[in-house]
Amino acid sequence: MSSLSVITPFDVETIRQDFPALHQMVHGKPLVYFDNAATSQKPSLVIDRIRKYYERDNSNIHRGVHYLSQQATEMYEEARKKIQTLINARQSYEVLFTKGTTEGINLIAYSFGQKWIKPGDEIIVSALEHHSNIVPWQMMCERTGAQLRVIPMNDAAELDMEAYAGLLNERTRLVATVWISNALGTINPVAEMIRMAHERNIPVMLDGAQALPHMQVDVQALDVDFLTFSGHKMFGPTGIGVLYGKEKWLEEMPPFMGGGDMIEKVSFEKTTYNELPHKFEAGTPHIEGGIGLGAAVDYIQSIGYEAIGKWEADLLQYGTEQLLTHFDDIRIVGTAAHKASVISFLVGDIHPYDTGTILDQLGIAVRTGHHCTQPIMTRLGIPGTVRASFAFYNTREEIDRMISGIRQVKKMFKS
Protein backbone atom coordinates (compact mmCIF):
# COMPACT_ATOMS: atom_id res chain seq x y z
CA MET A 1 0.00 0.00 0.00
CA SER A 2 2.60 2.52 1.08
CA SER A 3 4.36 2.03 -2.26
CA LEU A 4 1.26 3.42 -3.99
CA SER A 5 1.85 6.89 -2.66
CA VAL A 6 5.06 7.15 -4.66
CA ILE A 7 3.77 5.72 -7.92
CA THR A 8 4.43 8.03 -10.85
CA PRO A 9 3.53 7.68 -13.57
CA PHE A 10 0.27 5.84 -13.02
CA ASP A 11 1.09 2.16 -12.62
CA VAL A 12 -2.18 0.40 -13.27
CA GLU A 13 -0.76 -3.12 -12.96
CA THR A 14 0.47 -2.42 -9.44
CA ILE A 15 -2.85 -0.83 -8.56
CA ARG A 16 -4.77 -3.84 -9.88
CA GLN A 17 -2.82 -6.03 -7.45
CA ASP A 18 -4.58 -4.18 -4.63
CA PHE A 19 -8.02 -5.43 -5.81
CA PRO A 20 -8.43 -9.19 -5.21
CA ALA A 21 -11.81 -9.38 -6.97
CA LEU A 22 -10.32 -8.27 -10.28
CA HIS A 23 -8.24 -11.44 -10.51
CA GLN A 24 -10.89 -14.07 -11.06
CA MET A 25 -12.36 -16.04 -13.91
CA VAL A 26 -16.00 -15.58 -14.85
CA HIS A 27 -17.53 -18.18 -17.18
CA GLY A 28 -13.98 -19.42 -17.77
CA LYS A 29 -12.68 -15.99 -18.86
CA PRO A 30 -10.68 -13.40 -16.93
CA LEU A 31 -13.10 -10.89 -15.46
CA VAL A 32 -13.44 -7.46 -17.05
CA TYR A 33 -15.29 -5.34 -14.53
CA PHE A 34 -17.03 -2.40 -16.20
CA ASP A 35 -19.88 -1.93 -13.72
CA ASN A 36 -18.18 0.61 -11.49
CA ALA A 37 -21.03 3.13 -11.59
CA ALA A 38 -23.18 0.50 -9.85
CA THR A 39 -20.52 -0.40 -7.31
CA SER A 40 -16.74 -0.47 -7.30
CA GLN A 41 -14.41 -3.28 -6.24
CA LYS A 42 -12.60 -2.97 -2.90
CA PRO A 43 -8.86 -2.76 -2.28
CA SER A 44 -7.22 -5.11 0.24
CA LEU A 45 -6.63 -2.14 2.50
CA VAL A 46 -10.40 -1.77 3.01
CA ILE A 47 -11.03 -5.51 3.33
CA ASP A 48 -8.16 -5.91 5.81
CA ARG A 49 -9.23 -3.01 7.96
CA ILE A 50 -12.76 -4.40 8.28
CA ARG A 51 -11.37 -7.84 9.06
CA LYS A 52 -9.07 -6.38 11.70
CA TYR A 53 -11.97 -4.49 13.23
CA TYR A 54 -13.93 -7.71 13.74
CA GLU A 55 -10.92 -9.71 14.85
CA ARG A 56 -9.71 -7.19 17.41
CA ASP A 57 -11.69 -3.98 17.91
CA ASN A 58 -15.36 -4.98 17.68
CA SER A 59 -17.42 -3.14 20.25
CA ASN A 60 -20.34 -0.74 20.34
CA ILE A 61 -19.34 2.90 20.16
CA HIS A 62 -20.00 6.16 22.01
CA ARG A 63 -21.39 4.62 25.19
CA GLY A 64 -18.66 2.45 26.62
CA VAL A 65 -16.00 3.23 29.19
CA HIS A 66 -14.10 0.04 28.44
CA TYR A 67 -11.05 -0.20 26.22
CA LEU A 68 -12.59 -1.83 23.14
CA SER A 69 -15.49 0.59 23.04
CA GLN A 70 -13.11 3.50 23.23
CA GLN A 71 -10.93 2.00 20.51
CA ALA A 72 -13.90 1.46 18.20
CA THR A 73 -15.26 4.95 18.91
CA GLU A 74 -11.90 6.48 18.13
CA MET A 75 -11.61 4.58 14.84
CA TYR A 76 -15.13 5.51 13.77
CA GLU A 77 -14.67 9.19 14.60
CA GLU A 78 -11.28 9.18 12.93
CA ALA A 79 -13.00 7.97 9.75
CA ARG A 80 -15.39 10.91 10.00
CA LYS A 81 -12.39 13.25 10.17
CA LYS A 82 -10.86 11.60 7.11
CA ILE A 83 -14.02 12.36 5.18
CA GLN A 84 -14.06 15.89 6.54
CA THR A 85 -10.54 16.36 5.15
CA LEU A 86 -11.38 14.65 1.86
CA ILE A 87 -14.28 16.99 1.08
CA ASN A 88 -12.84 19.96 3.00
CA ALA A 89 -15.80 20.37 5.35
CA ARG A 90 -15.39 23.13 7.91
CA GLN A 91 -16.38 20.87 10.83
CA SER A 92 -16.29 17.09 11.32
CA TYR A 93 -19.83 17.25 12.76
CA GLU A 94 -21.06 18.48 9.37
CA VAL A 95 -20.26 14.95 8.12
CA LEU A 96 -23.16 12.62 8.94
CA PHE A 97 -22.91 8.89 8.38
CA THR A 98 -25.86 7.39 6.52
CA LYS A 99 -26.61 4.12 4.73
CA GLY A 100 -25.76 5.76 1.43
CA THR A 101 -26.78 8.44 -1.04
CA THR A 102 -30.40 7.31 -0.96
CA GLU A 103 -30.71 7.68 2.79
CA GLY A 104 -28.96 11.06 2.71
CA ILE A 105 -31.48 12.42 0.21
CA ASN A 106 -34.41 10.97 2.15
CA LEU A 107 -33.04 12.56 5.32
CA ILE A 108 -32.95 16.01 3.73
CA ALA A 109 -36.33 15.57 2.06
CA TYR A 110 -37.85 14.62 5.40
CA SER A 111 -36.11 17.00 7.79
CA PHE A 112 -35.65 20.03 5.54
CA GLY A 113 -39.18 19.46 4.25
CA GLN A 114 -40.67 19.30 7.72
CA LYS A 115 -38.90 22.49 8.80
CA TRP A 116 -39.17 24.74 5.78
CA ILE A 117 -41.50 23.49 3.03
CA LYS A 118 -45.06 24.84 2.74
CA PRO A 119 -47.86 24.26 0.20
CA GLY A 120 -47.06 26.00 -3.08
CA ASP A 121 -43.27 25.92 -2.52
CA GLU A 122 -41.09 24.49 -5.26
CA ILE A 123 -38.15 22.06 -5.36
CA ILE A 124 -35.99 21.91 -8.49
CA VAL A 125 -34.41 18.69 -9.73
CA SER A 126 -32.88 17.93 -13.13
CA ALA A 127 -33.83 15.70 -16.05
CA LEU A 128 -30.73 13.60 -15.29
CA GLU A 129 -31.67 12.37 -11.82
CA HIS A 130 -31.33 8.88 -10.45
CA HIS A 131 -34.66 7.69 -9.02
CA SER A 132 -33.26 8.29 -5.54
CA ASN A 133 -33.21 12.03 -6.23
CA ILE A 134 -36.75 12.04 -7.60
CA VAL A 135 -38.91 9.81 -5.43
CA PRO A 136 -38.00 11.26 -1.98
CA TRP A 137 -38.94 14.73 -3.28
CA GLN A 138 -42.21 13.45 -4.72
CA MET A 139 -42.99 11.90 -1.33
CA MET A 140 -42.09 15.19 0.33
CA CYS A 141 -44.33 17.09 -2.10
CA GLU A 142 -47.21 14.76 -1.22
CA ARG A 143 -46.66 15.43 2.48
CA THR A 144 -46.28 19.20 2.18
CA GLY A 145 -48.20 20.32 -0.91
CA ALA A 146 -45.00 21.52 -2.62
CA GLN A 147 -44.33 21.12 -6.36
CA LEU A 148 -41.46 19.46 -8.21
CA ARG A 149 -39.87 21.41 -11.09
CA VAL A 150 -37.50 19.76 -13.57
CA ILE A 151 -34.58 21.33 -15.48
CA PRO A 152 -34.84 19.95 -19.02
CA MET A 153 -31.89 18.59 -21.03
CA ASN A 154 -30.89 18.61 -24.70
CA ASP A 155 -30.32 15.54 -26.90
CA ALA A 156 -26.68 15.35 -25.82
CA ALA A 157 -27.92 15.04 -22.21
CA GLU A 158 -26.71 18.46 -21.08
CA LEU A 159 -28.90 20.57 -18.83
CA ASP A 160 -30.60 23.61 -20.32
CA MET A 161 -29.13 26.37 -18.17
CA GLU A 162 -31.44 29.04 -19.53
CA ALA A 163 -34.42 26.96 -18.54
CA TYR A 164 -32.80 26.50 -15.12
CA ALA A 165 -32.46 30.26 -14.70
CA GLY A 166 -36.15 30.56 -15.57
CA LEU A 167 -37.18 27.98 -12.98
CA LEU A 168 -35.49 29.74 -10.05
CA ASN A 169 -38.07 31.99 -8.43
CA GLU A 170 -39.38 33.26 -5.09
CA ARG A 171 -41.22 29.96 -4.49
CA THR A 172 -38.07 27.82 -4.92
CA ARG A 173 -36.94 26.40 -1.57
CA LEU A 174 -34.22 23.99 -2.69
CA VAL A 175 -32.31 22.86 -5.77
CA ALA A 176 -31.43 19.14 -5.61
CA THR A 177 -29.36 17.99 -8.54
CA VAL A 178 -27.15 15.13 -9.58
CA TRP A 179 -23.50 16.11 -10.08
CA ILE A 180 -22.53 13.32 -12.49
CA SER A 181 -25.16 11.22 -14.24
CA ASN A 182 -24.75 7.54 -13.44
CA ALA A 183 -26.61 6.56 -16.61
CA LEU A 184 -24.82 8.73 -19.19
CA GLY A 185 -21.81 10.29 -17.49
CA THR A 186 -22.77 13.95 -17.98
CA ILE A 187 -20.95 16.22 -15.54
CA ASN A 188 -23.34 19.02 -14.64
CA PRO A 189 -22.04 22.59 -14.20
CA VAL A 190 -22.77 22.50 -10.50
CA ALA A 191 -20.57 25.45 -9.47
CA GLU A 192 -22.56 27.68 -11.81
CA MET A 193 -25.84 26.12 -10.67
CA ILE A 194 -24.99 26.78 -7.03
CA ARG A 195 -23.94 30.36 -7.78
CA MET A 196 -27.22 31.04 -9.60
CA ALA A 197 -29.32 29.55 -6.79
CA HIS A 198 -27.39 31.40 -4.09
CA GLU A 199 -28.01 34.71 -5.84
CA ARG A 200 -31.59 34.11 -4.75
CA ASN A 201 -30.65 32.67 -1.35
CA ILE A 202 -31.79 29.20 -2.43
CA PRO A 203 -29.80 26.30 -0.93
CA VAL A 204 -28.46 23.50 -3.14
CA MET A 205 -28.09 19.77 -2.55
CA LEU A 206 -25.76 17.76 -4.75
CA ASP A 207 -26.10 14.04 -5.36
CA GLY A 208 -22.39 13.25 -5.41
CA ALA A 209 -22.70 9.46 -5.70
CA GLN A 210 -20.77 9.43 -8.98
CA ALA A 211 -18.50 12.37 -8.21
CA LEU A 212 -16.51 11.12 -5.23
CA PRO A 213 -15.08 8.07 -7.04
CA HIS A 214 -13.66 10.29 -9.79
CA MET A 215 -12.89 13.83 -8.72
CA GLN A 216 -11.69 16.11 -5.97
CA VAL A 217 -14.60 17.62 -4.07
CA ASP A 218 -14.31 20.78 -1.99
CA VAL A 219 -17.58 21.67 -0.30
CA GLN A 220 -16.30 25.03 0.93
CA ALA A 221 -14.99 26.13 -2.47
CA LEU A 222 -18.30 25.09 -4.04
CA ASP A 223 -20.23 26.60 -1.15
CA VAL A 224 -22.69 23.72 -1.53
CA ASP A 225 -25.31 23.36 1.22
CA PHE A 226 -25.72 19.59 1.17
CA LEU A 227 -23.78 16.77 -0.50
CA THR A 228 -24.65 13.07 -0.43
CA PHE A 229 -22.58 10.09 -1.49
CA SER A 230 -22.16 6.34 -1.03
CA GLY A 231 -19.16 4.42 0.30
CA HIS A 232 -19.58 1.44 -2.00
CA LYS A 233 -19.07 3.43 -5.20
CA MET A 234 -15.79 4.88 -3.89
CA PHE A 235 -14.01 1.60 -3.08
CA GLY A 236 -15.50 1.37 0.42
CA PRO A 237 -18.11 -0.95 1.94
CA THR A 238 -21.80 -1.12 1.13
CA GLY A 239 -24.36 0.17 3.64
CA ILE A 240 -22.37 3.28 4.54
CA GLY A 241 -22.54 6.73 3.04
CA VAL A 242 -22.25 10.37 3.91
CA LEU A 243 -24.49 13.37 4.09
CA TYR A 244 -22.54 16.59 4.37
CA GLY A 245 -24.60 19.58 5.45
CA LYS A 246 -23.70 23.11 6.43
CA GLU A 247 -23.92 23.52 10.18
CA LYS A 248 -26.49 26.33 9.86
CA TRP A 249 -28.98 23.98 8.18
CA LEU A 250 -28.28 20.86 10.23
CA GLU A 251 -28.62 22.74 13.52
CA GLU A 252 -32.12 23.89 12.58
CA MET A 253 -33.37 20.69 10.96
CA PRO A 254 -35.37 18.21 13.09
CA PRO A 255 -34.04 14.65 13.48
CA PHE A 256 -34.89 12.09 10.80
CA MET A 257 -35.03 8.98 12.99
CA GLY A 258 -35.45 8.65 16.75
CA GLY A 259 -33.67 6.20 19.04
CA GLY A 260 -30.47 5.65 20.96
CA ASP A 261 -27.46 7.96 20.55
CA MET A 262 -29.47 10.84 19.04
CA ILE A 263 -30.82 11.99 22.39
CA GLU A 264 -29.57 14.26 25.15
CA LYS A 265 -32.25 13.50 27.75
CA VAL A 266 -35.34 11.29 27.56
CA SER A 267 -38.42 11.23 29.75
CA PHE A 268 -41.94 10.14 28.91
CA GLU A 269 -42.95 13.80 28.87
CA LYS A 270 -40.18 15.24 26.73
CA THR A 271 -36.98 14.36 24.90
CA THR A 272 -34.16 16.69 24.00
CA TYR A 273 -31.75 15.87 21.20
CA ASN A 274 -28.03 15.30 21.10
CA GLU A 275 -25.67 17.67 19.35
CA LEU A 276 -24.42 17.24 15.78
CA PRO A 277 -23.66 14.83 14.23
CA HIS A 278 -25.35 12.43 16.69
CA LYS A 279 -28.77 14.10 16.34
CA PHE A 280 -28.99 12.48 12.90
CA GLU A 281 -27.39 9.13 13.75
CA ALA A 282 -29.96 7.14 15.72
CA GLY A 283 -29.11 3.63 16.86
CA THR A 284 -25.98 1.53 16.54
CA PRO A 285 -24.35 2.69 13.33
CA HIS A 286 -22.55 0.73 10.62
CA ILE A 287 -19.31 0.88 12.60
CA GLU A 288 -17.12 -1.29 10.38
CA GLY A 289 -18.64 0.47 7.37
CA GLY A 290 -17.47 3.86 8.62
CA ILE A 291 -14.03 2.47 9.44
CA GLY A 292 -13.84 0.75 6.03
CA LEU A 293 -14.84 3.97 4.30
CA GLY A 294 -12.04 5.73 6.14
CA ALA A 295 -9.65 3.15 4.66
CA ALA A 296 -11.12 3.77 1.20
CA VAL A 297 -10.41 7.47 1.64
CA ASP A 298 -6.80 6.64 2.58
CA TYR A 299 -6.54 4.51 -0.53
CA ILE A 300 -7.97 7.15 -2.90
CA GLN A 301 -5.64 9.76 -1.44
CA SER A 302 -2.64 7.48 -1.87
CA ILE A 303 -3.31 7.48 -5.61
CA GLY A 304 -4.61 11.03 -5.88
CA TYR A 305 -7.55 12.41 -7.83
CA GLU A 306 -5.30 14.04 -10.39
CA ALA A 307 -3.84 10.69 -11.48
CA ILE A 308 -7.27 9.06 -11.31
CA GLY A 309 -8.79 11.81 -13.47
CA LYS A 310 -6.10 11.58 -16.14
CA TRP A 311 -6.25 7.80 -16.39
CA GLU A 312 -10.04 7.71 -16.56
CA ALA A 313 -10.18 10.51 -19.14
CA ASP A 314 -7.94 8.37 -21.34
CA LEU A 315 -10.20 5.33 -20.88
CA LEU A 316 -13.26 7.41 -21.78
CA GLN A 317 -11.64 8.80 -24.90
CA TYR A 318 -10.15 5.48 -25.99
CA GLY A 319 -13.37 3.56 -25.35
CA THR A 320 -15.50 6.10 -27.23
CA GLU A 321 -13.11 6.17 -30.20
CA GLN A 322 -12.84 2.40 -30.37
CA LEU A 323 -16.60 1.91 -30.33
CA LEU A 324 -17.13 4.48 -33.06
CA THR A 325 -14.18 3.27 -35.18
CA HIS A 326 -14.99 -0.43 -35.12
CA PHE A 327 -18.74 -0.28 -35.59
CA ASP A 328 -20.88 1.86 -37.86
CA ASP A 329 -24.12 1.08 -36.04
CA ILE A 330 -23.10 1.97 -32.49
CA ARG A 331 -25.05 4.78 -30.91
CA ILE A 332 -23.38 6.48 -27.97
CA VAL A 333 -26.14 7.71 -25.70
CA GLY A 334 -25.10 10.86 -23.86
CA THR A 335 -22.58 12.98 -25.72
CA ALA A 336 -22.15 15.88 -23.30
CA ALA A 337 -19.02 18.00 -23.65
CA HIS A 338 -18.10 17.22 -20.03
CA LYS A 339 -18.35 13.56 -19.16
CA ALA A 340 -17.06 11.17 -16.52
CA SER A 341 -15.76 7.71 -17.48
CA VAL A 342 -19.16 6.27 -18.36
CA ILE A 343 -20.10 5.11 -21.87
CA SER A 344 -23.73 4.27 -22.47
CA PHE A 345 -24.45 2.81 -25.87
CA LEU A 346 -26.71 0.76 -28.12
CA VAL A 347 -25.51 -1.78 -30.70
CA GLY A 348 -27.68 -1.52 -33.85
CA ASP A 349 -31.15 -2.65 -32.94
CA ILE A 350 -29.95 -5.32 -30.52
CA HIS A 351 -31.67 -5.10 -27.16
CA PRO A 352 -29.28 -3.94 -24.41
CA TYR A 353 -30.17 -6.99 -22.34
CA ASP A 354 -29.00 -9.32 -25.12
CA THR A 355 -25.74 -7.44 -25.53
CA GLY A 356 -25.13 -7.53 -21.76
CA THR A 357 -25.92 -11.24 -21.51
CA ILE A 358 -23.49 -12.23 -24.23
CA LEU A 359 -20.76 -9.95 -22.90
CA ASP A 360 -21.26 -11.60 -19.51
CA GLN A 361 -20.64 -15.02 -21.07
CA LEU A 362 -17.31 -13.58 -22.21
CA GLY A 363 -16.44 -12.50 -18.66
CA ILE A 364 -17.28 -8.84 -19.28
CA ALA A 365 -19.49 -7.20 -16.66
CA VAL A 366 -21.49 -4.28 -18.05
CA ARG A 367 -24.87 -3.03 -16.87
CA THR A 368 -27.95 -2.93 -19.03
CA GLY A 369 -31.34 -1.30 -18.63
CA HIS A 370 -32.56 2.06 -17.41
CA HIS A 371 -29.92 2.41 -14.65
CA CYS A 372 -32.57 3.69 -12.19
CA THR A 373 -33.11 6.69 -14.46
CA GLN A 374 -36.35 5.91 -16.28
CA PRO A 375 -37.14 9.58 -17.04
CA ILE A 376 -33.87 9.88 -19.01
CA MET A 377 -34.77 6.85 -21.12
CA THR A 378 -38.29 8.20 -21.68
CA ARG A 379 -36.86 11.58 -22.72
CA LEU A 380 -34.52 9.87 -25.24
CA GLY A 381 -37.18 7.42 -26.44
CA ILE A 382 -35.17 4.27 -25.69
CA PRO A 383 -35.83 1.34 -23.35
CA GLY A 384 -32.34 1.44 -21.87
CA THR A 385 -28.67 1.24 -22.73
CA VAL A 386 -25.59 -0.91 -22.30
CA ARG A 387 -23.34 0.91 -19.87
CA ALA A 388 -19.60 0.46 -19.47
CA SER A 389 -18.37 2.49 -16.50
CA PHE A 390 -14.65 2.62 -15.80
CA ALA A 391 -12.60 3.00 -12.65
CA PHE A 392 -8.89 3.81 -12.39
CA TYR A 393 -8.06 0.09 -12.25
CA ASN A 394 -9.47 -0.55 -15.73
CA THR A 395 -7.27 -0.69 -18.82
CA ARG A 396 -7.26 -0.13 -22.57
CA GLU A 397 -6.75 -3.90 -23.00
CA GLU A 398 -10.02 -4.52 -21.20
CA ILE A 399 -11.75 -2.10 -23.57
CA ASP A 400 -10.25 -4.08 -26.47
CA ARG A 401 -11.83 -7.21 -24.96
CA MET A 402 -15.20 -5.46 -24.90
CA ILE A 403 -14.81 -4.42 -28.54
CA SER A 404 -14.16 -8.01 -29.64
CA GLY A 405 -17.05 -9.09 -27.40
CA ILE A 406 -19.38 -6.69 -29.21
CA ARG A 407 -18.17 -8.15 -32.51
CA GLN A 408 -19.38 -11.55 -31.29
CA VAL A 409 -22.68 -10.07 -30.16
CA LYS A 410 -23.21 -8.64 -33.65
CA LYS A 411 -22.31 -11.94 -35.28
CA MET A 412 -24.84 -13.79 -33.15
CA PHE A 413 -27.56 -11.28 -33.92
CA LYS A 414 -26.43 -10.76 -37.52
CA SER A 415 -26.53 -7.02 -36.96
Question: Which residue is nearest to ligand PMP, using beta carbons?
Answer: 182
Q: Is 188 in the site for ligand PMP (CB under 6 A)?
A: no
Q: Is 340 in the site for ligand PMP (CB under 6 A)?
A: no
Nearer to ligand PMP among residue 130 and residue 246 (C-beta):
130
Nearer to ligand PMP among residue 196 and residue 372 (C-beta):
372
Q: Is 372 a catalytic residue?
A: yes
Nearest distance in Å: CB 139, ligand PMP:
15
Q: Is 41 in the site for ligand PMP (CB under 6 A)?
A: no
How far apart, in whole angstroms, are the C-alpha atoms of residue 212 and residue 300?
10
Nearest distance in Å: CB 203, ligand PMP:
19
Nearest distance in Å: CB 213, ligand PMP:
10
Nearer to ligand PMP among residue 213 and residue 405 (C-beta):
213
Q: Is 281 in the site for ligand PMP (CB under 6 A)?
A: no
Q: Looking at 106, 111, 132, 322, which residue binds ligand PMP (CB under 6 A)?
A: 132
Among 65-73, 94-102, 389-397, 404-412, the segment contacting ligand PMP (CB under 6 A): 94-102
φ/ψ (deg, to 5) at 335: -125, 40
Nearer to ligand PMP among residue 101 and residue 355 (C-beta):
101
Q: Looking at 40, 41, 84, 102, which residue binds ligand PMP (CB under 6 A)?
A: 102
Nearest distance in Å: CB 271, ligand PMP:
29
Nearer to ligand PMP among residue 214 and residue 401 (C-beta):
214
Nearer to ligand PMP among residue 62 and residue 286 (C-beta):
286
Q: Looking at 40, 73, 186, 230, which residue binds ligand PMP (CB under 6 A)?
A: 230
Active site residues: 372
Q: Which residues form the interface with ligand PMP (CB under 6 A)?
A: 37, 100-102, 130, 132-133, 178, 182, 207, 209-210, 230, 372
